[in-house]
């Protein structure tokens, strides 16, 4: 079976920011024009994955799971049946134990310790699939490396180091697979904007950044204008291999092949600050391909109109035809033991042949009998009658005492009415007092520039103002020269 030849091979990448938050994920997948769909930040561990999401008709899927935290990180690659891979592997370091070892791992063991390799694969940040390409009758491999690169937390030095170590492992593995003769695609959320044109607010000395130096090394691109960013051997960045020789500039940014000078082409926005409405973001989602695949690249573009995440998809098209194997590789989710066997259904616990209407009628019948029993129980005194005249005299005496008590009861009810009136008067006064104390909040002020109601926010950062509330312009953050962006209105809530 082969992918449709007339349309080319379409590969899409998208950080979905939680697969469970996309209730229509299955529909989106089946309606997509892409043949291979790579998603990042699935935020599911294996025990959270449902069969409805993992085993979607018309696709085979391959997942990478975080072993450290539940609901964190994670990637997945979905392939249409005609583009099923011949091999699939979970992880970048080749030691996670998920699926086949596709190759190119020897140099990793020369550069990293066993503990470092375990850490690189512990967060479920990579899935690798290998496909068979029919290149004019000549078979060749196509390797797709789906990655969700770590974010460097500025307050945690260990995370910055981990991010650069992940880059180093990616560099070594991707180039090793390329040298084996395969065409290689590296795609996903790389978590670094490469050039100033890829950032909404490039700061001074923007290029002097280890992540950008890595992309300068990894990608074939124009020379950096702000000088040589290479460092000496004693002060090299963490992404640079020390014990292994890695060729540089062996991959290309497919988007910039077709849009070398396009500005404001962003793929990620801060949705908490409503930055998507003003397109104030960064381009950190990419589809890179090896140089030997560049001649087959037909197009690549971003899809900012697709909503559902704080990222948007990137779609590339290649003039390639894939041939699928007779069965998917072992790491396919359809072979997971929780999905492969016959699952027990709730309906199996009900007696066969008994319909829900019959059960309902039986239940109603039981309720009728119970009600009737209660009524009869209340009337059981009707079966007792007085036995002698003495009991009648006693009965009359009791009735006489009851009449006297009724008179007293009437007097008591009058006094209660007076008390109730006083209580109501007191409650009305109290209600008025509380109403004066808790007045409804004052209306939101208008920001002077846009004449729109301001947005109420709270200080969450630790400091003297933590917990205090303030008003700001409700528009999205944007460039200083953008009249539609948020103005500088600020006012403390009194």
Residue by residue, DSSP assigns 358-374 as: HHHHHHHHHHHHHHHHH
Gap between the terminal Cα atoms of the chain: 69
Active site residue 189: yes
Count CB neighbours of 392 within 10 A: 10
With tokens 């029993």, the residue in question is 373
* Active-site residue (options: 131, 194, 217, 311): 311
3-state class (DSSP) for residue 445: coil
* Active-site residue (options: 148, 167, 280, 286): 148
**What is the reported pLDDT for 88?**
97
Q: How far apart are CA 60 and CA 332, in angstroms?
A: 6
> Which residues 6+ apart lie within 8 Å of 398 measured at CB?
none
The count of C-alpha atoms lying within 13 angstroms of the C-alpha of 269, restricted to the half-sphere facing its C-beta, is: 25
**What is the reported pLDDT for 392?**
55
Q: How far apart are CA 253 and CA 330, in angstroms?
A: 31
* Active-site residue (options: 35, 171, 189, 253): 189
Q: How far apart are CA 396 and CA 409, in angstroms?
A: 20
Active site residue 194: no
Active site residue 153: no
**What is the reported pLDDT for 227?**
43
pLDDT along the chain (494 residues), means of 10: 66 97 94 97 96 96 94 96 96 85 93 95 97 85 98 90 97 96 97 97 92 96 53 68 94 97 97 92 98 96 97 97 95 93 50 48 56 53 53 58 61 61 68 70 80 83 85 79 80 84
Structure tokens at 248: 């540089």
**What is the reported pLDDT for 383?**
52
Q: How far apart are CA 68 and CA 125, in angstroms?
A: 12
Nearest to 467 by CA among 478, 479, 458, 454: 458
Structure tokens at 347: 């309906």
Structure tokens at 260: 């070398």
Instruction: From residue 7, give the alpha-carbon distance in Å to each of 82, 301, 320, 468, 471.
Output: 13, 16, 9, 57, 52
**What is the reported pLDDT for 30?**
94
CA angle 322, 300, 253 (to 5 degrees): 95
The count of C-alpha atoms lying within 13 angstroms of the C-alpha of 110, restricted to the half-sphere facing its C-beta, is: 13
Count CB neighbours of 147 within 10 A: 27
Instruction: From residue 83, give the alpha-carbon distance in Å to each of 8, 47, 86, 467, 468.
Output: 12, 27, 9, 53, 55
Q: How far apart are CA 388 and CA 383, in angstroms?
A: 16
Q: How far apart are CA 29 and CA 65, in angstroms?
A: 20
Structure tokens at 98: 């998920």
Instruction: Write the burial class of residue 224 (CB in 10 Å: 0-12 exposed, 13-18 middle, 19+ buried).
Output: middle
Helix %, strand %, coil % for the chain, to 5? 35, 20, 45
Q: How far apart are CA 11 and CA 158, in angstroms?
A: 33
Q: How far apart are CA 246 and CA 172, in angstroms?
A: 6
Q: Mutual orientation of helices 157-179 and 114-121 as an angle, nearest 10°?
A: 90
Residue 128 near residue 145, CB atoms below 8 Å: yes
């Amino acid at each position: 079976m082969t992918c449709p030849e007339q349309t080319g091979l379409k590969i899409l990448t998208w950080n979905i920011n939680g697969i469970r938050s996309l209730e229509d994920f299955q529909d989106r997948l089946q309606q997509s024009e892409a043949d291979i769909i790579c998603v990042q930040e699935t935020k599911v561990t294996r025990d959270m994955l449902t069969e409805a999401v993992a085993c979607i008709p018309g696709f085979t899927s391959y997942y990478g799971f975080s072993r450290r935290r539940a609901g964190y990180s994670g990637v997945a690659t979905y392939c249409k049946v005609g583009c099923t891979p011949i091999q699939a592997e979970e992880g970048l370091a080749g030691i996670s134990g998920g699926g086949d070892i596709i190759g190119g791992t020897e140099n990793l063991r020369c550069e990293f310790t066993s503990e470092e390799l375990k850490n690189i694969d512990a967060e479920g940040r990579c899935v690798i699939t290998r496909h068979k390409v029919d290149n004019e009758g000549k078979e060749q491999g196509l390797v797709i490396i789906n990655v969700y690169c770590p974010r460097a937390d500025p307050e945690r030095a260990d995370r910055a180091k981990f991010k650069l170590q992940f880059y180093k492992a990616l560099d070594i593995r991707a180039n090793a697979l390329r040298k084996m003769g395969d065409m290689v695609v590296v795609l996903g959320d790389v978590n670094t904007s490469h050039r100033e044109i890829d950032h909404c607010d490039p700061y001074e000395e923007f290029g002097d950044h280890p992540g950008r130096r890595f992309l300068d090394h990894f990608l074939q691109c124009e020379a950096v204008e702000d000088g040589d960013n290479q460092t000496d051997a004693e002060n090299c960045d963490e992404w640079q291999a020390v014990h292994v020789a890695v060729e540089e500039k062996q991959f290309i940014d497919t988007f910039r092949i077709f849009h070398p000078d396009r500005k404001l082409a962003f793929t990620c926005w801060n949705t908490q600050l409503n930055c998507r409405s003003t397109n104030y973001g960064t381009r950190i989602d990419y589809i890179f391909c090896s140089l030997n695949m560049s001649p087959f690249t037909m197009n690549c573009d971003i899809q900012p109109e697709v909503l559902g995440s704080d990222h948007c998809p990137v779609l590339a098209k290649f003039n390639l035809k894939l041939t699928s194997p007779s069965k998917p590789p072992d790491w396919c989710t359809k072979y997971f033991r929780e999905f492969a066997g016959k699952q027990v259904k709730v309906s199996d616990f009900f007696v066969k042949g008994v319909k829900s209407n019959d059960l309902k009628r039986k239940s109603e019948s039981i309720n009728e009998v119970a009600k009737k029993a209660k009524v009869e129980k209340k009337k059981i005194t009707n079966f007792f009658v007085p036995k002698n005249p003495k009991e009648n005299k006693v009965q009359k005496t009791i009735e006489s005492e009851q009449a006297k008590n009724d008179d007293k009861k009437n007097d008591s009810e009058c006094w209660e009415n007076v008390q109730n009136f006083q209580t109501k008067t007191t409650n009305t006064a109290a209600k008025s007092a509380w109403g004066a104390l808790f007045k409804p909040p004052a209306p939101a002020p208008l920001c002077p520039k846009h004449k729109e109601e301001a947005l109420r926010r709270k200080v969450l950062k630790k400091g003297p103002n933590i917990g205090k509330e303030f008003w700001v312009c409700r528009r999205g953050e944007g460039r200083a020269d953008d009249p539609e962006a948020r103005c500088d209105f600020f006012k403390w809530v009194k």
